[in-house]
C-alpha cells in the first residue's frame, strides 16, 4: 500500500486516488468535455516554456510569500472551487479548507459543494473564498451571497463560463449523481472502495449542502436535479455583475476569462481580479489553453486588476511559469482533489507541499530568492507565448 511519505509528485497522488475513489467521481475530476482537447492542452502548452538556469548566485533565504486580492498567502496558489468535492472523500470540503488554513493558502468553496458554507466555516477559522454560480432564482442567489457574507468569506469568485454546461461524456455514461445511484455497475465498483464507503457511512453530508433546504422546493435529491436543469441562467450578463458586486460589497474575482475584451469588461464592471480559465477544459472544447491567453490578458488589464490563472497547474514549475508571465497567482483544482481522494486532509497538505517545493527550488535555480522579483527574465526568450492582441 502506498504511503504518504512516498508521494513525490501530484502524479503519485493521482494514482493512489484512482484506487480509492469511486469511478464516477474520479472520472468527473479527470476528464474534460467532448474530445478533451482543451483539457490536454491546458497542461501540454506549458511544456515548450523553458527556464533560464542561473548559477553561482545566493540562493539562501527564499520566499514565495505574497498577497492575492489583499490576503497574505504563503505561496501564490489558491485551491479552486470544485463541485462534488465531498464525494471524493467524506466531508471533503471541510478537510480541504482545513488543509489550506494549515498551509497558508486560500480555499475556494463551490456553490455545488457537498458540505455547506456553514459546514466549512465550522471547520476553519481562515477567510475562505466562495464561488458563485448564478441561478434564475435571484432571491436564492441573494440569500447565498448573504450566507457567504455571514461566514466572513474573504472574496467572492463569480464563475462566468457556465451559463450552459458543456457535454462531458464520462459524466453522462457514469450517471453522475450524489450520492451514487444504486445501479449494478455502481454497487460493483463501490465494493472495491471500502474506505470510501466507510467514510460516507459515517457522515450525514452526502448531498449539496448549499442548495438542499435553502432553494425553494428543493428538499431532496429528486427535487435537486430538476431544479438544477431549470436554474442555470443562460441570460447572465455584465449588468448582473454590477448587481452582484453591489450586493457583495467585498473583493470580487471573475473566473472564466479567455479574451482580453472580456477582461476589460470585468474591470469596468467592478471586478478586483480575473481568473484566466477555460473551466479546466470542461466547457468549450477546441478553445485556447489558459497559458496561451495569459500574456494577452495581462497586457490588456494587468495594471488595473489582478490576473490569476487556472488550468494545467499540476507542478510547481507550471505555477512559476504562469507567475513569470504575469499571473499574480494560480488556482489548482485537480491536484488537491487527487490528494484528498488519496489521503484526505493530509493528502491535500501533501499536494500543496509538493507544489511549494517544486516552485521554490525552480525559482532558486533561476537565480531568484523572492517571488516578488520573478518576471519573464527567468524564461528562455522564444519559448513562451507572447501577447497576441490588446
- Residue 275, strand partner residues: 255, 308
Q: What are the grid coordinates assigned to 309, written together?
A: 490563472
> Residue 282, exposed/middle/buried by CB under 10 A (0-12, 13-18, 19+)?
buried
Q: Kindly name the residue from 41, 169, 214, 279 that is annotated as catalytic.
A: 279
Among 297, 327, 296, CA closest to 312: 327
How far is it, in rounded angstroms, from Cα 123 to Cα 348?
15
Among 198, 197, 294, 307, CA closest to 255: 307
Residues annotated within the binding site for glyoxylate are 28, 133, 168, 279, 282
How far is it, in rounded angstroms, from Cα 269 to Cα 40?
32
- C-alpha dihedral over 265, 45, 77, 171, to 10 degrees? 80
Strand intervals (E) in 133-219? 156-159
316 and 369 Cβ atoms separated by less than 8 Å: no
Residues annotated within the binding site for FMN are 81-83, 110, 131, 159, 255, 277, 333-334
How far is it, in rounded angstroms, from Cα 64 to Cα 67?
10
How far is it, in rounded angstroms, from Cα 299 to Cα 303?
8
Question: Is 279 labeled as catalytic in the residue annotation?
Answer: yes
Q: What are the grid coordinates assigned to 385, written together?
A: 507565448
Interhelix angle 345-365/10-20, nearest 10 degrees? 160
361 and 59 Cβ atoms separated by less than 8 Å: no
DSSP, collapsed to helix, strand or coil, labels residue 4 as helix
Residues belonging to the active site: 279
Amino acid at each position: 500500500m502506498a504511503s504518504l511519505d512516498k508521494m513525490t509528485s501530484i502524479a503519485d497522488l493521482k494514482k493512489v486516488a484512482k484506487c480509492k475513489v469511486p469511478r464516477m467521481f474520479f472520472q468527473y475530476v479527470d476528464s474534460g468535455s467532448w474530445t478533451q482537447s482543451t483539457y490536454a492542452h491546458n497542461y501540454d502548452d506549458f511544456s515548450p516554456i523553458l527556464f533560464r538556469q542561473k548559477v553561482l548566485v545566493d540562493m539562501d533565504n527564499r520566499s514565495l510569500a505574497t498577497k492575492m486580492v489583499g490576503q497574505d498567502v504563503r505561496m501564490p496558489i489558491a485551491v479552486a472551487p470544485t463541485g462534488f468535492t465531498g464525494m471524493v472523500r467524506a466531508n471533503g470540503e471541510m478537510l480541504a479548507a482545513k488543509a489550506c488554513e494549515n498551509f497558508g493558502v486560500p480555499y475556494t468553496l463551490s456553490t455545488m459543494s457537498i458540505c455547506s458554507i456553514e459546514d466549512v466555516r465550522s471547520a476553519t477559522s481562515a477567510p475562505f473564498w466562495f464561488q458563485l454560480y448564478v441561478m434564475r432564482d435571484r432571491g436564492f442567489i441573494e440569500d447565498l451571497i448573504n450566507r457567504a457574507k455571514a461566514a466572513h468569506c474573504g472574496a467572492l469568485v463569480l464563475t462566468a463560463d457556465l451559463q450552459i454546461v458543456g457535454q462531458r461524456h464520462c459524466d453522462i455514461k457514469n450517471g453522475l449523481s450524489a450520492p451514487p445511484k444504486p445501479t449494478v455497475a455502481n454497487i460493483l465498483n463501490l465494493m472495491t472502495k471500502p474506505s470510501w464507503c466507510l467514510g460516507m457511512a459515517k457522515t450525514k453530508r452526502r448531498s449539496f449542502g448549499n442548495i438542499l433546504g435553502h432553494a425553494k422546493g428543493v428538499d431532496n435529491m429528486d427535487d435537486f436535479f430538476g431544479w438544477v436543469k431549470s436554474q442555470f441562467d443562460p441570460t447572465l450578463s455584465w449588468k448582473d455583475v454590477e448587481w452582484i458586486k453591489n450586493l457583495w460589497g467585498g473583493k470580487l474575482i471573475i473566473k472564466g476569462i479567455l479574451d482580453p475584451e472580456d477582461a476589460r469588461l470585468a474591470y469596468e464592471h467592478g471586478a478586483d481580479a480575473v481568473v484566466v480559465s477555460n473551466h479546466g477544459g470542461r466547457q468549450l472544447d477546441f478553445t485556447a489553453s489558459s497559458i496561451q491567453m495569459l500574456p494577452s490578458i495581462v497586457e490588456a488589464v494587468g495594471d488595473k486588476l489582478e490576473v490569476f490563472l487556472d488550468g494545467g497547474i499540476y507542478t510547481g514549475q507550471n505555477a512559476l511559469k504562469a507567475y513569470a508571465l504575469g499571473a499574480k497567482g494560480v488556482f489548482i483544482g485537480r491536484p488537491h482533489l487527487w490528494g484528498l481522494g488519496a489521503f484526505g486532509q493530509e493528502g491535500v497538505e501533501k499536494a500543496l507541499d509538493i507544489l511549494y517545493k517544486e516552485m521554490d527550488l525552480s525559482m532558486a535555480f533561476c537565480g531568484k530568492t523572492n517571488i516578488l522579483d520573478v518576471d519573464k527574465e527567468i524564461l528562455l526568450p522564444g519559448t513562451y507565448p507572447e501577447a497576441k492582441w490588446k
